[in-house]
């Protein structure tokens, strides 16, 4: 096998959460371009339909269905529905996420719980469901979307709930990687820096000094710049990688 062939995802079956916009849409597109059969889930039916149609115009056939991963039966519905549509599951990409910019003395318990429900608890339940399936079907690959917010404290806005939830994601990644390696299940994470999406107001002048100017590359990323690393980590090119958190931040965490 030639080296570039190891990056191919032909024959791989992938589930992406939150795949209808931003980073998730870029990841769905990249996985499909690399040859994977992809299904994504989200609560927003209209956005799902629009994303599937837009990708179809690019010659990419992907599937989507409505799931709220924070509900009691949401994670199981996502896993079971994907297996049914794809005929199996080789890759779970836990991308869905939420940030609330609220200082510690102002954020409510309900808001804190909501962030953890989306970013951590749902990811845990999805991973456990996918892990159980993969264990019984020869193995698989789980890739989590973390953040540099697990490593640094963002400023000038405060967001302790988001930071803590992503730190939990990173540690859970390592814990599951250690526990599930005997089952041929790899578990890794990426930690993006500031990326231009609907969730990150990177164009806000109030944030530029700390978000952009503090980074060696002095710019934000586009989702399409993160996607190739996802393809690498989803492919056999990263076959000896598990328990890793790959930082992609323009050098922000150097300092």
Domain ranges of the chain: 3-248
pLDDT score for 199:
77
pLDDT score for 140:
98
Other C-beta atoms lying within 10 Å of the C-beta of residue 208:
14
List the one residue out of 187, 169, 145 whose CA is nearest residue 16.
145
What is the assigned CATH class of domain 3-248?
alpha beta
Asked whether the beta carbons of 42 and 96 are under 8 A apart, the reply is yes
List the one residue out of 232, 245, 205 whose CA is nearest residue 34.
232
Other C-beta atoms lying within 10 Å of the C-beta of residue 239:
10
Specify the pTM.
Answer: 0.97
The catalytically annotated residue of 162, 183, 252, 255 is 162
pLDDT score for 200:
81
Q: What is the mean pLDDT of each run of 10 residues along the chain (255 residues)?
A: 96 98 98 98 97 98 98 98 98 97 97 98 98 98 98 96 98 98 98 91 89 95 98 98 98 96
Measured distance CA(44)–CA(66) in Å, rounded: 7
Omega before residue 13 within 30° of 0, cis? no
pLDDT score for 15:
98
Is position 183 annotated as part of the catalytic site?
no
pLDDT score for 50:
98
pLDDT score for 1:
84
């Amino acid at each position: 096998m030639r080296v570039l062939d190891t990056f191919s995802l032909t024959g791989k079956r992938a589930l992406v959460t939150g795949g209808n916009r931003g980073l998730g849409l870029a990841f769905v597109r990249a996985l499909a371009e690399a040859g994977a059969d992809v299904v994504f889930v989200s609560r927003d039916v209209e956005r799902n339909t629009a994303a599937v149609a837009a990708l179809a115009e690019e010659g990419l056939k992907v599937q989507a269905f409505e799931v709220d991963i924070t509900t009691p039966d949401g994670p199981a519905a996502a896993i079971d529905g994907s297996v049914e549509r794809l005929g199996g599951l080789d890759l779970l990409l836990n991308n869905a996420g939420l940030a609330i910019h609220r200082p510690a003395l102002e954020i409510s318990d309900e808001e804190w719980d909501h962030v953890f429900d989306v970013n951590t608890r749902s990811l845990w339940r999805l991973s456990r469901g996918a892990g159980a399936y993969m264990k019984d079907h020869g193995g698989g690959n789980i890739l989590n979307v973390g953040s540099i917010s697990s490593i640094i404290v963002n400023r000038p806005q405060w967001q302790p709930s988001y930071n803590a939830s992503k730190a939990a994601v990173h540690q859970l990644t390592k814990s599951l990687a250690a526990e599930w390696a005997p089952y041929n299940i790899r578990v890794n994470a990426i930690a993006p820096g500031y990326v231009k999406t609907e969730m990150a107001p990177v164009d806000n002048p109030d944030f530029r000094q700390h978000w952009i100017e503090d980074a060696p590359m002095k710019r934000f990323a586009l989702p399409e710049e993160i996607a190739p690393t996802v393809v690498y980590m989803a492919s056999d090119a990263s076959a000896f990688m598990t328990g890793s958190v790959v930082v992609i931040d323009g050098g922000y965490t150097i300092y």
